Structure 1
Amino acid sequence: MEKVWLKNYHPAVSAEIDPDRYTSLVDLFEQSTKKFADKTSYINMGKSITFAELDILSKQFAAYLQNSGFKSGDAIGIMMPNLLQYPVALFGILRAGMTVVNINPLYTSRELKHQLVDANAKGIIIVENFAHVLADILQDTAIEKVILTSLGDMLSPVKKVLTNFVVKYIKKLVPKYSLPQAESFLATLEKGSGLIYTRPEIANSDLAFLQYTGGTTGVSKGAMLTHRNMLANLEQISQILSTIVDESYEGDDLVVTALPLYHIFALQVNCLTFIKFGCPNLLITNPRDMRGFVAELAKYPFSIILGVNTLFNGLLNTPGFDRLNFKKLKFSLGGGAAVQRPVAEKWQAVTNKVLLEGYGLTECAPVVSVNPPQIEKYTGSIGMPLPSIEVKLLDEHGNEADTGESGEMWVKGPNVMTGYLNRPEATAEIIKDGWLATGDIAKCDENGYFYLVDRKKDMILVSGFNVFPNEIEEVVAMHENIVEAAAVGVPHEVSGEVVKLFVVRRSENITEKEVIEHCRKYLTGYKVPKKVEFRNELPKSNVGKILRRELRDE
């Protein structure tokens, strides 16, 4: 389709980017750590490290890896929440010329085994809280070396001892495990400090990340993302960020990183892109502790916060959040799942800043489109495609949809993955002639703004009519006594499927009849839920995305 969105780009945003501006992510990292050496790079649990310190520590870890039997290209797993150890390990692996395999620390043994075996991982850095999960399946993998860390390892000496003692012996958050050959993360850094680091030759076409899809639509697959894929998306995002953040600034903007760095959204935007801009990242280890999260936010004048709809909704419903200082807040960005209008409008009312919405997927490294930070209010749009990205919308017959009509979104650009590891058939199903089929239904207006209708595979078919869960869930979220909801299709002998709603309520006074009547005010008959089930909580992915499939499978 014609790139009608270009006419609405900010004057500072180019139509195309240079995906080869840097030779590799290591090249970008080295330039940035030198440029911002004295500035803070990461903050976690009250401890901060500078870019210079990040440079030294990651080089030590890279030297250790290079001198421990690993070779360039080997896959190394990282399995931990947001800790200072994460960026040290991540950039150490990349600087050693190896491939990062990000792993959700909440994985079961079965899920972990699948990912390690599929990636043929040779090593893993894991926080000891989850070591028992690895111990159960280690013998079934190709892992040659296990590196263990504790939550407080990178903190000051006193706080380190205290934190690790409380976690292990008071809160008892470290189940028993047996990994006799494991080495401590701090020991690897000490060893690395006395070893020679050899900067490897890294091509842009080399694999940087094996980023596994969440598995919510079947078996988890490893998206192969090269240095060039990641750098291309970094440059695309940078074009938008450059309209509000100056690359040569003096280190004044602070980024809140509550989404886990093992997730592609936080990995690309928070971890990599803001390295280029020299912005410090405030790492939140446990964002589910909303009261603790708000208490941490109160300590820092933050400028940028990224998250998913459930995170923003959770903050808005946490006492004390509305009393924080939002004077330095430049923008907030929601991704990973649709931002709901009631949440966005309440966010703007509380913070006086628009909650921007973007769109992306792991296979696109991940950002495809985003709203410009200059918009004045939430519109329901996922924004305009980033520079150097082509988009087309195809109807059910494979024809391009007209303006305003819905169709499956197909994407093409230098940020699109090379394919799924060891899965040529799955790759061929999703990538055709360089175009990636997203599985998402969208429409585009005359100004080039896209609107996500829903996931193709989540669509509910009622008497031949397409019903999209997002629309229903947004209507339900308008009710003041409902915290969150999920809509799924359940079999029905007459209409094929009907809508069933799973609801977390704020007050037990609200009834099924009241919920249905509320929906009837705003939805046409076939879209109105026929069944309502109240839950204390809804199943969510590692980044807080509601898992409709789990509810459907029940």
Structure 2
Amino acid sequence: MNLTSQLHKTAQEKGHKTAYYFMDQSSTYAELDASVTKFASGLSSIGIKEGDNVALLLGNTPQFVIGLYGAMRLGAKVIPINPIYTPDEIGYILNNGDVKAIIMLDLLVPLAEKIHGLLPKVEHYIVCETPQGQEAGQDASELSVFSKMKSFTQLVLSGDLDFKGPELEEDETAIILYTSGTTGKPKGAMLTHRNLYSNAKDVSDYLHITEDDRVVTTLPMFHVFCLTVALNAPLMNGGTILIDPRFSPKEIFRLAEEYKPTVFAGVPTMYNFLYQYPEGNAEAFSSFRLCISGGASMPVALLQNFEKKFNVLVSEGYGLSEASPVTCFNPLDRPRKAGSIGRSIMNVANKVVNELGEELPVGEVGELIVQGPNVMKGYYNMPEETAATIKDGWLYTGDLARKDEEDYFYIVDRKKDMIIVGGYNVYPREVEEVFYNHPEIVEAAVLGVPDPNTGEAVKCYVVSKNPNLTKEDLLDYSKERLAKYKVPSSIEFLEELPKNTTGKILRRALKQQVTEIK
């Protein structure tokens, strides 16, 4: 079984069920499955074959879902790309990923005109029409800027509903997800049909996602967190997804009131925005049975404040692109442990090891490693990087963690983010937790900076809702709550912290600021 055959099975059994809502329009499973089949046929008609690489340069839209499942039904490999990346970033992935066709928003036609000469392997640009693009004068049905351009809508309309794709092997690559490239150029994690199907099924089973659930899909679909938890998992069991093009607290509360969703998935920053939203109230969230947090560690103070204000459970989990992504979640059948990423989901093993790969006792900090049917087959065209990441069947995550006596895991920090002050280890997250407990701090981020005396020192960036709060106030506050070597040597106030498109705070952007100042 694979994702696209599961979608077809669901359409046969529950064809009348609503698969998604988008901009207050809906589609049934039967309609979605028909569009997927016809799009796969349309791709085949222009020469896309099993094994070809197809890029998705799309935001949260029905075309993303149809493009993803349609390309997979044909046996093509899908490469989702953030559409707001720079031309250089997009060009690198398209070339490195040997992309043959791009499915893109009409608003990106000017970008295609600019860079298509640098992309000799790309044979087709498939343009998805949007109201915004049409207002800007983009009409994909009439585009003739260069002969490689096709209309997404026309490919679907002209497709054959009786099209039969190839038998898909479970160990064949289905999706190539390019990592964010925090340590260099992005690497393409190759996820197989088995990886994706198993993780979506295990997540839906673990979180009890059923056909009665309505899941808010506001995380970017091109990001693996959304892809599995808020897209594939609900579609696995006939649930309904509420496709939100762009996160905003106002829109989330509107969706909550109008569609009575049952599951919300977001990163900690989203929860912070929802918590701070003046018009937010518990009544609007009354239909939610579960909120899921991932992508970064959620400050315990924020988690507890959010649950108290909205009277809803927040289950924190953990994952990474190379694991499709989920490896841990707080279970729903026992008390949730604040600050923990939970226990291993079914069919996945997590353990904490030392530098020699030996498992560490309960409570000791080491690197988290993962094993299971969700672990990638490797990095695209990068055998050395693959060998350094997957050892003896275990995926080395690069995250520092510990485990308690009940097999709950806790992320301490990224291995490379650890700060060493005079020989002592300081984990940014533990300092950030202290600042998040301050009633006038909205956000905080901590990193290490060079220090002539101690090697490194702790620097903290904060966003405050009180313009009169001073650095001295915060230093006094932290000195009361942290060991001396953990107290920040400097504190800087910012209007907002840099974030990526999922809302995750980017420490590397802050590090870049420090480097530029030097």
TM-score range (shorter-chain normalised) is over 0.9
TM-score, with length taken from structure 1: 0.88
The superposition leaves residues 455-508 of structure 1 with CA deviations (integer Å, 9 ceiling, x where unpaired) of: 101111111111111111121111222211110100000001111111122121
Matches within 5 A, 1:306-325: 306-325=265-284
Within the candidate set 466, 480, 496, 1:537 is matched to: 496
Do the aligned partners of 2:256 and 2:284 also contact (CA within 8 Å) in 1?
A: no
Give CA-to-partner distance per residue, 1:97-135, whole Å, 9 cap, x none. Answer: 111110011110111011111110100111122333333
**Residues 327 and 350 in structure 2, CA contact (< 8 A), matched pair in contact too:** no
Does 2:465 correspond to 1:506?
A: yes
Q: Is the 8 Å Cα contact of residues 54 and 88 (structure 1) preserved in structure 2? A: yes
SS in 2 for 1:110: helix
The 1:34/1:533 distance shift into structure 2, 3 A limit, reads same
Matched-pair contact (CA < 8 Å) for 1:108–1:133: no
Structure 1 gaps of 5+ residues are 1-21, 153-162, 170-175
Output the aligned Cα RMSD.
1.9
Q: Structure 1 residues 528, 178: CA separation in 2 closer, same or farther (over 3 Å shift)?
A: farther
Whether contact under 8 Å (1:95, 1:199) holds in the other structure is yes
TM-aligned CA deviation for residue 300 of structure 1: 1.7
Cα–Cα, structure 1 residues 241 and 532, in superposed 2: closer, same or farther, change >3 Å? same
Report the counterpart of residue 391 of structure 2 in structure 1: 432
Q: Deviations over 1:271-325 (max 9, x none)?
A: 11111221100111010x3333333333221100001000111111112222543
Does the aligned pair in 1 maintain the 2:282–2:310 contact within 8 Å? Answer: no
Residue 254, structure 1, aligned to residue 220, structure 2: no
CA deviations over 1:390-431 (Å, ceiling 9, x no partner) = 222112454321111111011111111010000011001111
Distance 1:546 1:521 in 2: 26
Q: Please name the residue that 2:155 is paired with.
A: 188
User: Which of 54, 66, 82 is the matching residue for 1:88?
Assistant: 66
Q: Give the drift of 1:252.
A: 3.0
The change in CA–CA distance for 1:179 and 1:498 in structure 2 (over 3 A counts) is farther
Q: 1:47-446 maps to which residues of 2 (within 5 A)?
A: 47-141=25-119, 142-152=121-131, 168=136, 181-193=148-160, 197-242=163-208, 245-246=209-210, 251-287=211-247, 289-446=248-405
What per-residue deviation string (whole Å, max 9, x for no partner) do you get for residues 231-277 of structure 1? 221232133123xx44xxxx432101110111111111221111122
Q: Deviations over 1:21-64 (max 9, x none)?
A: x2x22221211122221011111111111111101111111000
C-alpha distance in 2, partners of 1:284/1:221?
28
Q: Compute the displacement of 1:524 (Å).
A: 1.1
Counterpart for residue 511 of structure 2: 552
CA shift in 2, pair 1:151/1:504, >3 Å = farther
CA contact (8 A) 1:332 1:356 kept: yes
Secondary structure, counterpart of 1:231 in structure 2: helix
| Cross-structure match for 1:9 | none
**Contact between 1:41 and 1:48, CA under 8 Å: does it hold in 2?**
yes
Displacement after TM superposition at 1:551 (Å)? 0.9
Partners of 1:447 and 1:552 in 2: CA distance: 37
How much does 1:335 deviate?
0.5
- Counterpart CA distance in 2 for 1:319 and 1:180 is 51
- Structure 1 124/395 Cα, relative in aligned 2: closer, same or farther at 3 Å? same
Report if the CA contact (8 A) 1:237-1:386 is conserved: yes
CA deviations 1:313-340 (Å, max 9, x no partner) are 1111112222543332111110110011
Q: Structure 1 CA distance, aligned partners of 2:112 and 2:421? A: 44
Offset at residue 536 of structure 1 (A): 1.7
Give how far 1:177 is off: 12
What is the SS of the residue equivalent to 1:490? Answer: strand
Q: Deviations over 1:341-387 (max 9, x none)?
A: 11111111122122110011000010011001234455211100112
Q: Provide the identity percentage.
A: 37
User: 1:164 Cα shift?
Assistant: 5.1
What SS is found at the alignment partner of 2:480?
A: helix
- Cα–Cα, structure 1 residues 86 and 549, in superposed 2: closer, same or farther, change >3 Å? same
Q: Is contact 1:254–1:303 with CA below 8 Å preserved after alignment? A: yes
Counterpart in the other structure of 2:416:
457
User: Equivalent residue of 1:259, what SS?
Assistant: coil
Alignment-derived partner of residue 26 in structure 1: 4
Q: TM-score, normalised to structure 2's length?
A: 0.94
Mark the runs of 5 or more structure 2 residues left unpaired by the alignment.
Answer: 138-142, 514-518
Q: Is the 8 A contact 1:78 1:102 kept in 2?
A: yes
CA, structure 1 residues 151+398, in 2 after alignment: closer, same or farther (shift >3 Å)?
same
Amino acid across the alignment from 2:224: I
1:363 maps to amino acid: E
**Kept in 1: contact 2:256–2:287 (CA 8 A):** no
Report how far residue 180 of structure 1 moved.
Answer: 6.0
Q: For 2:320 and 2:193, how far apart are their aligned partners in 1?
A: 17
